[in-house]
Chain A
Amino acid sequence: MLPKVLSKDRFADFVARLLGGGRVFAPVAKGPQFAFAEIAGPDEVSRIRMDYDISILPPKKLFMPQRETLLTFKDKGPEGVRAEVKSQPTAILGVHPYDLHAIATLDAAFSKGARDAYYLAKRGATTLIGLNVKAPANENQFAADMNAIDPPAGGYDLFLTDLGDRYYVEISTGAGEALADDDMFTPAGAGDHKGKRAYDAAKAAHFTRKLPYDTRYLPELLDVSYDSLIWEAAARRCFSCGTCTNVCPTCYCFDVLDKLSMDAHSGTRERIWDSCQLEGFAVVAGGENFREERPSRLRHRMFRKGKYIFERTGRTGCVGCGRCITHCVAKISILEAFQQIADQVGA
């Protein structure tokens, strides 16, 4: 599909068109920061901040909510247990390229093996409208190193680039094509294409590379750094609070817990976010803790991000968004760790 152009004068019409198809989530201000929030109606279009730098939580929360019901039961089961696979048409507007990459990673992870009905139902009912971003939100971002400053092929329905008075609109799917089939969209001309090229050139200049090596070597460098002291050094500052996994766009570990209703017979089986950084994460019923030491938990997360998820899904486990660095109370930096391992070979 050839790119189109959406004049900013028609942006409100575009949001209204999205609202006609279901729920709409978009970046809005949350204090001095930003969050993806529901835009309840056309009168809330002014809340949308297409100039946001980065959201606190990634859009992951819309496919894998912090708490979701897997099953309902009555009379304590097992008869009368029902699966609660639910979804509703949803558009997410303004997803930056690194977050689109993270969603593609989650798509791959949840499509493996038993294929997760809950995630895939929500994901399948979602329209992704990506948004180009010209410069890193802060010094913690290293999305260029993780090849995540341009959107993943096929990883969005529409992808918008801000050209001042208009958006350059790339179309990747049939759903995107249908959405752009309206007179508010006009075919892109030479000036628009040139504008997009200039935008991407400026972007490439702003997103400087921060790792001394190409990330294709990251899994192997981690492998030879397994016994490095850098995990121990970083873990000395770690509080094992789990903030890094909560804000991570590709972390998807979870726990499953039962919630009993007041009648003490019916209830729900729920999936909630969990974190491999919490002390009890790998404890078995007998009390043995298989990742008791803080450095081993910290290393496990860094290895998941730089090696394991990639090896299992073929997609990057870290998109370089920098959220885990920004929000870490101890200022532990996965970027710094990935930089340090460059010198670990043979150490």
Chain B
Amino acid sequence: MTQALKENPPLVSAYLPRAAKIVEKRKLTDGETWFRFTFPDAQGVKYLAGQFMEVSLFGIGGAPISICSAPGQRDDLEMCVRAVGDVTRAMHALNVGDTLALRGPFGNGFDMDTVAGKDLLFVAGGLGLAPCRSFILDALTRRGQFGRVTILYGGRTPKDLLFRDDLAVWAERKDAEFFVTVDRPDADWKGRTGVITTLFRQVAKSDPARTAAFIIGPPIMFKFAVLEALGRGLGKTNIHCSLERRMKCGLGMCGHCQIRNVYVCQEGPIFSYADVIRLREGI
């Protein structure tokens, strides 16, 4: 027997999911729907900001979906799902009371305790607000543990803006700065217009050594937003992002999410910009 085989084979398949029940569902935009799930096995779920679940609809397949609710030990979790593939389109057709299958949570996630005391700068583009919301809700829930909190959010059009109830709450909060912009306004839009990097002008100067940035959005947005953050003097290790990949198994095996020698489903999806540079193929 080779060393690796000395232990007995595991009796349980890592592919067995848990049942999760849809207890709330709300259409956020034409393409995106928000779900809240609970677990009929009453075991709850514990996760960190930035972690994701493997969602299964048997007969159709599986897809990795990031968690958008506040992290911790909870009875429920939330996801914001864009209908782009077979699984996500089928999810949109499900109703409150329906069950589906979840595996996870997977990924490294990010322990917000590690940035306690620092100023936080959240930069979310498009659907990137979904995973970013988990970070933001955590920061706002235990607001006192952090310095200044600034949230920048950019969408393509006003119709594409997600979590509008949250956005209204964030805009009202006196202990957080919130700025939103759209690339293309419509007739009713009274807010800012322009790509997300234009919002950096609104951000008050802060001590770069005591600032942590979370930049989550499409690769093109990350590339430009990171330049703004670097321009403000932030160190590469203080800029965090979430990399999107095809995380098929979640177990560091199937190879689809591999970037060089890193399995994003295990060692990611949250990476510092320093790691992203080192990976070369990251963005």
- Please report A residues at the B interface, Cβ cutoff 8 Å: 70-71, 73, 76-79, 81, 83-85, 103-104, 107-118, 120-121, 123-124, 152, 154-155, 173, 226, 252-258, 260, 264-265, 267, 269, 274, 276, 281-288, 290-291, 296, 300, 303, 307-308, 311-312
Query: In whole Å, how far is A74's beta carbon from the nearest beta carbon of chain B?
Result: 9
Judge if B15 is at the interface, Cβ distance under 8 Å: yes
- Report the minimal beta-carbon distance from B91 to chain A, rounded to whole angstroms: 12
- CB of B254 within 8 A of CB of A81, answer no
Instruction: Point out the residue from A116, A258, A290 that lies within 8 Å of B58, measured CB to CB.
Output: A258
Given A77-B101, A113-B252, A267-B59, verify A284-B18 contact (CB < 8 Å): no
Give the distance to chain A from B38, nearest Cβ to Cβ, in Å. Answer: 14
B281 A284 Cβ-Cβ under 8 A: no
With A154-B2, A282-B256, A290-B245 as given contacts, are A70 and B15 in contact (CB-CB < 8 Å)?
Answer: yes
Interface residue from B19, B59, B266 paired with A79 (Cβ < 8 Å) = B19
Q: Contact partner of B5 among A111, A112, A252, A276, CB < 8 A?
A: A111
Q: Is the CB of A254 within 8 A of B253?
A: yes
Given contacts A258-B59, A274-B254, contact A115 B9 (CB under 8 A): yes
CB distance from B214 to the nearest CB of A (A): 20
Residues on the A chain within 8 Å of B254, using CB:
253-256, 274
C-alpha spacing A109/B3, complex, angstroms? 12
Which B21-65 residues sit within 8 Å CB-CB of chain A? 56-63
Most-contacted residue by chain A among B7, B9, B62, B259 (CB, 10 A): B9
Q: Report whether B259 and A290 are in contact in the complex, using a CB–CB cutoff of 8 Å.
A: yes
Contact partner of B62 (CB less than 8 A), chosen from A124, A173, A256, is A256
Which residues of A lie under 8 Å from residue B245 when comparing CB positions? 282, 284, 290
A76 neighbours in B (Cβ, 8 Å): 57-59
Query: Roughly how many angstroms separate A190 CA and B245 CA in the complex, as a whole number?
Result: 60
User: In the complex, are the beta carbons of A288 and B56 less than 8 A apart?
Assistant: no
| Interface hits, B228-274 → A, CB 8 Å | 244-246, 248-249, 251-261, 266
The answer to whether the Cβ of B168 comes within 8 Å of any Cβ in the partner chain is: no
Which one of B12, B19, B260, B281 contacts A308 once the chains associate, using CB atoms below 8 Å?
Answer: B260
Instruction: State in angstroms the CA–CA spacing of A290 and B82 once bound together.
Output: 20
Residue of A nearest to B85 (CB): A285
How many angstroms from the CA of A28 to the CA of B18 in the assembled complex?
A: 45
Interface residues, chain B, with chain A CB atoms under 8 Å away: 1-5, 7-20, 56-63, 82, 84-85, 88, 99-101, 219, 244-246, 248-249, 251-261, 266, 280-281
**Measured between alpha carbons, how far is A78 from B257 in the docked complex, in Å?**
25
The 9 closest A-B pairs by CB, nearest first: A253-B255, A78-B101, A83-B13, A120-B9, A77-B58, A111-B4, A107-B4, A285-B85, A73-B58
Which of the residues B7, B56, B246, B252 comes within 8 Å of A284, measured between beta carbons?
A: B246
- Contact of A267 (CB < 8 Å), options: B56, B58, B100, B261: B58
Contacts A70-B15, A113-B252 known; A288 to B5 CB distance under 8 Å? no
Q: Which residues of B contact A252 (CB under 8 A)?
A: 253, 255
Contact B261 A307 (CB under 8 A): yes
Min CB distance, B10 to chain A, in Å? Answer: 5
Q: Which residues of B are found within 8 Å of A73, using beta-carbon distances? A: 58-59
- Beyond A81-B101, A253-B255, A274-B256, whether A123 also contacts B5 by CB under 8 A is yes
- Which residues of chain B have C-beta atoms less than 8 A from A265's C-beta? 59
| Cα–Cα, bound, A231→B13 (Å) | 38
In the bound complex, residues from chain A placing their C-beta under 8 Å from that of B256 are 253, 255, 274, 281-282
Whole-angstrom CA separation of A291 from B280 in the bound complex = 12
Q: When the two chains form their complex, are residues A124 and B19 in contact, meaning their CB atoms are under 8 A apart?
A: no
State whether A104 and B255 are in contact (beta carbons under 8 Å apart), knowing that A85-B11, A267-B59 are contacts in the complex: no
Task: Please report the C-alpha to C-alpha distance between residue A312 and residue B85 in the assembled complex, in whole angstroms.
Answer: 32
Chain A residue with minimal CB distance to B261? A308
Known: A113-B251, A114-B253. 6 other contacts (CB 8 A): A104-B2, A108-B2, A114-B251, A116-B253, A303-B261, A308-B261
- Neighbouring A residues of B246 by C-beta, 8 Å: 281-285, 290
Complex Cα spacing A274 to B20, Å: 29
B107 to chain A, nearest CB (A): 13
In Å, the complex CA distance between A258 and B261 comes to 28
| 8 A/B residue pairs, CB under 8 Å, sorted by A | A78-B99, A114-B253, A254-B249, A274-B254, A274-B255, A276-B258, A288-B244, A296-B281
A251 nearest CB across to chain B (Å): 9
When the two chains form their complex, are residues A77 and B253 in contact, meaning their CB atoms are under 8 A apart? no
Contact of B59 among A111, A260, A281 (CB under 8 A): A260
A83 contacts B15, C-beta separation under 8 Å: yes
